[in-house]
Structure 1
Amino acid sequence: MAHLHDPGHLPAGHAAAVVAVKDLSRAKTRLTSLSPALRGRLAALMAVTVVRALTEALDRVVVVTTAPGIGPLLHDHGLPTEIIADPRAGLNAAFAEGAARLRADGADLVVACMADLPALTTDSVRRTLASCADRGRWFVPDAAGTGTTLLAARGLELDPRFGPGSAQHHAVSGATELDAPDGLRVDVDAPADLAAAAAVGLLPPVAALVDEGRIGRWDTGIVVGPEADGWAVLTSGGSRVRAEADALGADVVRLAAGQRVHLVRSPEGPIRHLWI
């Protein structure tokens, strides 16, 4: 196993990453206690966190997806990322498509990263990939030790083998296991994963959805109108609640009275996050 270097610089050469984001209507189906709208929003905001960390650490990031809202959402968060159409042949084909584009454009180190790492930091990416200085392939297992959260290759084909038991599949294929901080290992598929990620430290914007390790209460509402430094919203249950200005998603350009919105709030508490 390769071990963490002290925080520092990435190996020399152009380093780039591909992130695959599935159709948000089918995202995180194992989080059965959440509404489809909230599952999709969680998946989208986790992708924002991952793309931000990779963008700040590497030279280039591309996103392979069929989700039409991902590109605009990333742009609204200050991440005008290149979007590549998903070939619709599974996760490995999506990663291979992005990796081929990056290598064709001269990337030396190519990284495939899962999009559901809400505690991923730029420093975690830099420290982990500092081990990837020579020709080779490397992978980071998830917290359970069975899945894979990141795969990297320098001077070789990426050869992604994501799916059930992918950690073993990548090891058998010759990839070297990397030691990595928890933020790069805790992916979110089940409620317990979200609590584990919260214990590591959730990053914005995902943190706005979570209260004490759990997703807040999802609801819909209708905008009543502006208030000082915020907005009044009438929830589906008839309660009038307040959304502070900083609770609005970065993609909420404007609100108007009568507009229907989604919202997450603490139990009987203020609105934590609001989106259209």
Structure 2
Amino acid sequence: MDASVGDVAAVVALKTVTYAKSRLGTLPDPLRRRLAWTMAVDTLVALGEAVATVLVVSDQPALASRLARAGARVQVVGDAGAVGLNDALRRGARLMNEAGYPTVLGCVGDLPALRPASVATVLAAAPDGGRAFLADASGVGTTMLMARGVPLDPHFSGRSAAAHATSGALALSDDRLGHPVPDARRDVDTEVDLGPAVDLGVGRATSALIDQETGVLGAYAVITTTSHQDDHGRPLAVTAGGHRLRLPSDSLDGLRPLRSGQRLHAVHARGVVLSAWL
């Protein structure tokens, strides 16, 4: 199967960030929500470069415009009362089949290191008819499920790899794929999962939260912009504890021009704000 042909649609179901990635609850809540958002953006951008269309199933307000600003080429539909991830994916797959896409790729939304080439590899290894799935890095979960000419029939969550195999979907081994696709298997449910994803190379949105020198998440803080500048004329912000931080020229999520006195969520490292958002 060629991922560049026009008959492949990807479907992703996204929870509102208020409830997303609950197992990242060890992080400050604003940072947990932001990381869930950036990982979804990076996943959707990679999918959008690999398949004909990407459909997001979610009832998040203004999601379509937010994703467009973030550079993700997607369609968004409401969940229409769908209960849970699998019900939402079934709805999305049905809509894509009705729109003329015989091949549907159901995908999780937390693959920050995903590359379009790996999506193409997965699609090319899938059979010409029926269903196939890609297990996650642990071998227990599933990151992708493909269906061509048949219903998607998703069984995500929990021991989903076994559930998909039991339902008749073909497991895509590295041998069948032709080479490993670690980025397509590396979903991020916990802080421990994030390190290997960063090692693989996360996308632009998630990378903005990472201290590139250490490869770890920046420290979270609420900052207030100021009218002050450092010795090189670069604008400064201050934390609630009174620490001055230099603001970057980018990674401010469309917040420029900044006004003195704005309060923002931010991550920082070594005296520099890595990323800031409202």
Q: Calculate percent identity across the aligned residue pairs.
A: 39
Distance change >3 Å, CA 189–CA 69, structure 1 → 2: farther
Instruction: State how far apart, in whole Å, the 1-side matches of 2:228 and 2:50 are.
Output: 39
Quote how far apart the aligned CAs of 1:50 are: 0.7
Alignment of structure 1 residues 41-120 onto 2, 5 Å? 41-68=34-61, 70-86=63-79, 87-120=81-114
3-state SS of the aligned residue for 1:97?
A: helix
Q: Could you tell me which residue of structure 2 aligns to residue 128 of structure 1?
A: 122
Q: Could you tell me which residue of structure 2 aligns to residue 216 of structure 1?
A: 218
- Tell me if 1:239 matches 2:268: no
Aligned mate of 1:154, from 118, 131, 148: 148
Distance change >3 Å, CA 270–CA 105, structure 1 → 2: same
- Tell me if 1:181 matches 2:181: yes
Q: Point out where structure 2 has 5 or more consecutive residues left out of the alignment.
A: 174-179
Instruction: State how far apart, in whole Å, the 1-side matches of 2:14 and 2:95 are.
Output: 17
Quote how far apart the aligned CAs of 1:15 are: 0.5
- In terms of mean alpha carbon deviation, does 75-84 or 110-119 score higher? 75-84
Instruction: State how far apart, in whole Å, the 2-side matches of 1:270 and 1:16 are.
Output: 40
3-state SS of the aligned residue for 1:153?
A: strand
Cα-to-partner distance string for 1:228-276 (whole Å, 9 max, x where unaligned): 8864212121122111112322x4354222211111012x431111111
3-state SS of the aligned residue for 2:18?
A: helix
Instruction: State how far apart, in whole Å, the 1-side matches of 2:89 and 2:161 are.
Output: 16
Cα-to-partner distance string for 1:191-241 (whole Å, 9 max, x where unaligned): 110011112121211012123343210001111148588642121211221
2:7 maps to a residue whose letter is H
TM-score, structure 1 length as denominator? Answer: 0.90
TM-score, structure 2 length as denominator? Answer: 0.90
Aligned mate of 1:40, from 30, 33, 36: 33
Q: Could you tell me which residue of structure 1 aligns to residue 198 of structure 2?
A: 198
Instruction: State how far apart, in whole Å, the 1-side matches of 2:118 and 2:168 are.
Output: 23
Distance change >3 Å, CA 136–CA 229, structure 1 → 2: farther
Instruction: State how far apart, in whole Å, the 1-side matches of 2:93 and 2:143 are.
Output: 16
Instruction: State how far apart, in whole Å, the 1-side matches of 2:195 and 2:241 are.
Output: 28
Cα-to-partner distance string for 1:41-84 (whole Å, 9 max, x where unaligned): 10111111111111111100011112225323211122242111
Q: CA RMSD in A?
A: 2.0
Instruction: State how far apart, in whole Å, the 1-side matches of 2:170 and 2:93 are.
Output: 19
Instruction: State how far apart, in whole Å, the 2-side matches of 1:204 and 1:161 are.
Output: 30
2:204 maps to a residue whose letter is P
Q: Point out where structure 1 has 5 or more consecutive residues left out of the alignment.
A: none
Distance change >3 Å, CA 77–CA 184, structure 1 → 2: same
2:220 maps to a residue whose letter is W
Instruction: State how far apart, in whole Å, the 1-side matches of 2:256 and 2:170 are.
Output: 45
Cα-to-partner distance string for 1:133-173 (whole Å, 9 max, x where unaligned): 51110111011101010111000000001111100000011
1:217 maps to a residue whose letter is A
1:243 maps to a residue whose letter is L
| Structure with more relative contact order (C-alpha pairs < 8 Å, separation 6 or more) | 1
Instruction: State how far apart, in whole Å, the 2-side matches of 1:273 and 1:209 are.
Output: 6
3-state SS of the aligned residue for 1:72?
A: helix
CA contact (8 A) 1:229 1:244 kept: no
Aligned mate of 1:272, from 269, 274, 277: 274
Q: Could you tell me which residue of structure 2 aligns to residue 137 of structure 1?
A: 131
2:226 maps to a residue whose letter is V
